[in-house]
Amino acid sequence: MAGTLYVVATPLGNLGDLSPRAAATLKRVAAVAAEDTRHSKPLLHHVGSRAELVSFHAHSSERTLERILRILQEGRDVALITDAGTPAISDPGVALVAAARERGVPVMTIPGPTAVAASLSVSGIGGDRYLFLGFLPRKGSDRRRLLLTAASSEWTVVLFEAPNRVTQLLADLVAACGPERQASVSRELTKVFEETRAGSLQELSDHYAEAPVRGEVTVVLSGTGKQKVEEPPPDPAERAKALLEEGLSRKDVANRLVEETGISRNTAYRLVNEL
């Protein structure tokens, strides 16, 4: 009989937020799969856990995944934790959860802290319905597409960002949403220097351009409050002709077609070359 994979939420910062159930689980499992073992050792020491600590992160090999699954298939329990908050949310742990389910391994949640709910609760922005976009791509068409999704969302939007990229994210949101859209920026949640600053995107952008951020950041963006009206994508052939007439290169036209119409890259190149 397989062991159980426990998905254990851990504190965002303050160890007092670790639930008794989470502490008991970490203490009794055979192994703990952790994103950063150096970060997790103090937590296991805090609860008195002697579990085997296995590093499992975004760049872990298939061999590491199989090692954890083998522990489970031997009938021993494993806890999955992330550096802070709930695993498998913008976190590589999702791969382990999916693989365990595919092998018929029981998966159970030990709920607790999450930066999404914590940031929403102190933002002053409605959280009845919200869209979670996590970390945006650093550049390219995928980033532009998600910025437009955030800008046009009827509902509140929650984003994660690394401290050194917050200034750029806020500047991009100002450009996509307009300077007056309301938002909040939360950092160092539950830690000594916890801060949540709310205001217009322009106010927040100006502030953090002058005050470098430390610690992981959660941005909460107010929605438009208006239902998004989906417009049909432009006809690829007509759009390609118009872009060529503007003087764009065939390569640039093909890239724009992929972004604007949703057709595949191969189809876009074939269409452009046929014109």
Tens of pLDDT, residue by residue over 53-81, are: 999 999 999 999 999 999 999 999 999 99
- Report the percent of the chain where pLDDT is more than 90: 78
pTM: 0.80
Q: How far apart are CA 265 and CA 247, in angstroms?
A: 20
Q: Is the domain of 105 the same as that of 131?
A: no
Per the prediction, the chain carries an average pLDDT of 94
The enclosing domain of 174 has a CATH number of 3.30.950.10
Residue 1 has pLDDT above 90, yes or no: no
Strands 156-161 and 217-221, sheet pairing: antiparallel
Q: Is the domain of 128 the same as that of 204?
A: yes
The enclosing domain of 28 has a CATH number of 3.40.1010.10
Count the Cβ atoms, other than its own, within 10 Å of residue 189: 24
Q: Is the domain of 260 the same as that of 196?
A: no
Average pLDDT of the segment spanning 156-164: 97
Q: Is the domain of 88 the same as that of 170?
A: no
Confidence of residue 30 (pLDDT cuts 50, 70, 90): very high
| pLDDT at 95 (0 to 100) | 96
| pLDDT at 36 (0 to 100) | 93
Residue 178 has pLDDT above 80, yes or no: yes
Q: Is the domain of 128 the same as that of 101?
A: no
Q: Is the domain of 199 the same as that of 270?
A: no
Residue 84 has pLDDT above 90, yes or no: yes
Q: Is the domain of 41 the same as that of 101?
A: yes
Q: Is the domain of 68 the same as that of 141?
A: no
Helices (H), 178-264: 201-210, 236-245, 250-261
Q: Last residue of a domain, which of 88, 113, 138? A: 113
Structural domain count of the chain:
3
Range from 33-42, 131-140, 192-201, 228-237 carrying the lowest mean pLDDT: 228-237
Q: Is residue 167 part of a domain?
A: yes
Confidence of residue 230 (pLDDT cuts 50, 70, 90): low
Q: Is residue 72 part of a domain?
A: yes
| pLDDT at 228 (0 to 100) | 66
Q: Is the domain of 156 the same as that of 204?
A: yes
Q: Last residue of a domain, which of 113, 138, 160? A: 113
Q: Is residue 230 part of a domain?
A: no
Maximal C-alpha separation, the chain:
70
Q: Is residue 228 part of a domain?
A: no
Q: Is residue 53 part of a domain?
A: yes
Residues 6+ apart with CB under 8 A from 87: 7, 8, 9, 80, 81, 93, 97
Amino acid (one-letter) located at 86: T
Q: Is residue 150 part of a domain?
A: yes
Q: Last residue of a domain, which of 221, 245, 265? A: 221
Q: Is the domain of 177 the same as that of 258?
A: no
> Residue 118's closest CA among 77, 146, 85?
85
Contact, 153 vs 224, CB < 8 A? yes
Residue 229 has pLDDT above 80, yes or no: no
| pLDDT at 215 (0 to 100) | 86
Confidence of residue 216 (pLDDT cuts 50, 70, 90): confident
244 phi, psi to nearest 5 deg: -65, -40
Q: Which helix (H) or strand (E) holds 142?
A: helix 141-152
Q: Is the domain of 155 the same as that of 206?
A: yes
Q: Is the domain of 109 the same as that of 24?
A: yes
Integer-rounded Cα Rg, in Å, for the chain is 23
Q: How far apart are CA 213 and CA 144, in angstroms?
A: 23
Confidence of residue 235 (pLDDT cuts 50, 70, 90): confident
Q: Is residue 95 part of a domain?
A: yes
Residues 6+ apart with CB under 8 A from 155: 129, 130, 131, 223
Q: Which token pair is 42?
A: 């103090």
Containing domain of residue 260, as a range? 236-274
Q: Tens of pLDDT along 87-109?
A: 999 999 999 999 999 999 999 99
Q: Is residue 231 part of a domain?
A: no
CA torsion sign for 33, 38, 44, 48 is positive
